[in-house]
Amino acid sequence: MVEFLIMNKTHKNTIGYVLAIFIVIAIGVVLGTKLTQAETTNSNENTNNGPITNQPANTNDQPAGESQPNNETTPTDDEADKQALEKDVLDLNLQIEERKKQLEALQAEHETYRKNLAIKQQEALTLSSQVSSLEDQLKETEVEVQITETEIDTLRLQIREVKNKIDEREDQINDQKTRLAQLIRKLNTYQNKNLLEILIKENKFSKFFNQLNYLEETEGYIKKSLDEVKVLKQQLEGVQTDLESKETELEEKKNSLKAEKEELEGQKTYKDQLLTDTKESEAQYQELLEAVKSEQVSVNSEIGLIEDTIRQKLEGEDLLSADTNATLSWPVSPLGGITAYFHDPTYIFRRLFEHPAIDIRAKQGTPVKAAASGYVARAKDAGLGYSYVMIIHANDISTVYGHLSSIDVEEESFVTRGQVIGNSGGMPGTPGAGRLTTGPHLHFEVRANGIPVNPIDYLP
């Protein structure tokens, strides 16, 4: 009986297997006529749509009934956009190269004027040599203005070039996002199919295994595309940083250009004033030089005497608190440049006296700040003469700020580091400028034990 049951169960299982095979064969026979038509349709779709760049090459085995994603623009449009971009980039590069050549020529011209000035400054200080030097200074400054303007134009062209690169990267990122979205939709559609649906639709078992292989390749392509998008994003961020840096540099160039133009106007005014004051007389010019020399000696003596007297009083009463920061702060921004250095051999009045300070280029009316905390020993408003402020600091240091157009502190008062003490000047014929000043700037002195020293050694 047991053997009969076992044989009966085995018989039933065999019949089940045979029926399953018959069903599969029947399905194959019914749908077999569709095989050629389905394969032909898939082939035509693949041919019309074309493969996506870097997409799996086995496109005939992708899920049936689904075509490859199409680009939003036609190949003709893409080619036209690419050609337009390449032309724009080429034009920009040509313009940048042209500006660079102009810069080289201007810099060579600037060097010529600089050498001529150095030679003339070694000559005797006469009215004719002074006027001649001024003319060279005017030309030199004009060339500096042209150099700055050309540098600004060059930077603007480079910024345009960077923006073009940003637009190109953004287009590439958007294109990658579109392709990824299409592939993800295709993947989701395929994953929702069951085995029987795939078997009926594809007509043969080999098609199913090819589709599995296509799925794996598609997943790899998606990962690769995601990595490419990340790289493109990083490149875009780097380009944006570069653009921001160039824009900051451009703003600095603009400010420098304004200062140079003001200095040029000052030099022109000084030259006209000099010819007017001397009436082109060498004798009167020499008298003017003597007056300037006497003024310089007087100011120097005044500063020395005041410092000795007041420092003794302050130290005796322990009123000077030591500044923990031994380095002085810049009284005005140094970005405009230094027009004359300490004991500068090219200083225009060196044959009369050594330059005891540095001249920092500053726009007329620029706020001037105390280089360190200290006591205001002198705040001299000389009208159209030489106006200055002197501050005594701890550690035997004092500072002087000259050519101030206005003064905002009072004598015998204490100031803190960075506090505004007045506004810069130096434009000929304006308050505080004094005699024979050639343009807007701040005259900044540092003295150690009453003796002028190089301010650069005390600045950051």
Count of residues for the chain?
A: 460
pLDDT of residue 12: 47
How much is the pLDDT for 405? 97
Q: CATH: 3.40.1440.60, 3.40.50.1820, 3.40.50.2300, 2.70.70.10. Which one for 282-458?
A: 2.70.70.10
From CA 290, how far away is CA 349, in angstroms rounded? 11
| pLDDT at residue 48 in the model | 42
Beta-carbon contacts of 43 under 8 Å, excluding residues fewer than 6 positions away, are 60
Strands in 420-424's sheet, in edge-to-edge order, are 367-369, 420-424, 404-407
* CB contact set of 241 (below 8 Å; sequence gap of 6+): none
pLDDT in tens, 291-329: 888 888 888 888 888 888 888 888 777 777 766 677 999
66 exposure class (CB count in 10 Å sphere: 0-12, 13-18, 19+):
middle
Is pLDDT at 45 greater than 50 in this prediction? no
* C-alpha angle 368-370-376 in degrees, rounded to nearest 5: 110
Q: How confident is the model at residue 423 (pLDDT cuts 50, 70, 90)?
A: very high
How high is the pLDDT of residue 30? 41
137: which residues sit within 8 A by CB, 6+ positions away? 113, 117, 267, 438
Name beta bridge partners: 407. 422
- Residue of 366, 364, 383, 368 whose CA lies nearest to 432: 383
Domain boundaries, the chain: 75-275, 282-458
The number of CA neighbours under 13 Å toward the Cβ of 207 is 18
Question: What is the CATH number that goes with domain 75-275?
Answer: 1.10.287
pLDDT at 447: 95
How much is the average pLDDT of 51-69? Answer: 46
CA distance 121 to 119: 5
Tokens matching residue 238: 């780097």
Tell me, what amino acid is at 198? Answer: I
Question: What pLDDT, on a 0 to 100 scale, did the predictor assign at position 341?
Answer: 95
The predicted model gives 219-244 an average pLDDT of 76
